[in-house]
Structure formats: C-alpha cells, structure tokens
Amino acid sequence: MTESEIREYISKLTAKMYVSFVLWIVIVVIQFFVGICTAVFYGYGVATLCLMVYNLIGCIRYYRNIQIIKKCHTVSQLQSIVAYFENSIPVCWVFMFLNLVLGGVIGFVGNLYDLLLAYSVRKIKDKLYEPELFNQKPFYEGRPYEEVPEDKQRPLYEE
C-alpha cells in the first residue's frame, strides 16, 4: 500500500469507529433510561446503571483511541493500531457471548460490529506491513515533504 492508500484506509477506519462510538452512546442512553425506570418502579436497575457507567467509560476510551488513530503517521503507530484491534478480538467474543446469554440484543450488535471491524483490520495487516512502505519519502497533506515548513513535518514512516 502507498502512503495515500494508508491514509485513506485510516480515514475510513476512523469513520467506522465513529459509527461504533455512536452505537455505544445509544446503548448507554438506553441503559440509562431502562436503569432509572426499573430502579424507580421495580426497585432493581442498579446493575443496568452500573453497566451504563462501564459502557460510558468504554466510550470515552474508544473516543480517545479514535483521536490517536486519526493522527497516525509512523510505521510503529500502524503496528500499534493493528495490535489494538487484534487484542480486542477475544474481548469482543466474550462480551458478545455475555450479551447473548443475558439478553442484551443491542450490546450483542455493538460487539458484533466491533468484532467485524477488528477482523477487517486484521485482514489488511500484511498490506500495512509491506516492505515498500519503509522506502517511500514521507508526504504531508498531499505535498512533497521537502515543500512543507520544517516545524510541520511529520513523516509517516520512521527512517
């Protein structure tokens, strides 16, 4: 893959991650209302509210990861992105199973989407690690690297 293809892939990846982020925010909102209603009317719902807090913390972390991935500009960062998604695969499977057993249909869908996203990154991993990447001259916002002011130069690839 060339640098522009990698940048385009990262852009598409972060867009898909934003979809996942919004999906999990919707889950948090639903858990909030279900938790409040069941706590007020039936006396239980604390567990749902605790899961809501857990998912909200997960959303905040996920949003931070999106911001980090958007700023990717070195090969080591590309490797970290792949490792992040590969490490999330077993976690997604566990939470998909738990949601399935406990009846969390929306949580199941959210985890399924995250799992498919992780597998899509894993599938393209070899292309991200192609040796030709290490020999390319870095670019900055579509301009040759030499034309960019020195204080704004950020190489995509480590030399």
Amino acid 125: pLDDT: 84
Amino acid 134: pLDDT: 45
Bridge partner list, 140: 143
Amino acid 105: pLDDT: 80
- Is 155 a domain residue? no
Domain around 26: 3-139
- Is 147 a domain residue? no
pTM of the model: 0.72
Map the chain to HEC letters.
CCHHHHHHHHHHHHHHHHHHHHHHHHHHHHHHHHHHHHHHHCCCCHHHHHHHHHHHHHHHHHHHHHHHHHCCCCHHHHHHHHHHHHHHHHHHHHHHHHHHHHCCHHHHHHHHHHHHHHHHHHHHHHHHCCHHHHHCCCEECCEEHHHCCHHHCCCCCCC
- Is 154 a domain residue? no
- Is 153 a domain residue? no
Total domains in the fold of the chain: 1
Mean pLDDT by 10-residue block, N- to C-terminus, for the chain (159 residues)?
80 92 92 85 78 88 89 78 90 87 80 92 81 47 50 51
Residue 103 burial (10 A CB sphere; 0-12, 13-18, 19+): exposed
Can you read off the two tokens belonging to residue 97? 């199973």
Amino acid 152: pLDDT: 58
- Is 126 a domain residue? yes
Amino acid 151: pLDDT: 60
- Is 73 a domain residue? yes
Amino acid 34: pLDDT: 86
- Is 40 a domain residue? yes
Distance, in Å, from the CA atom of 95 to the CA atom of 101, rounded to the nearest integer, reads 10
- Is 151 a domain residue? no
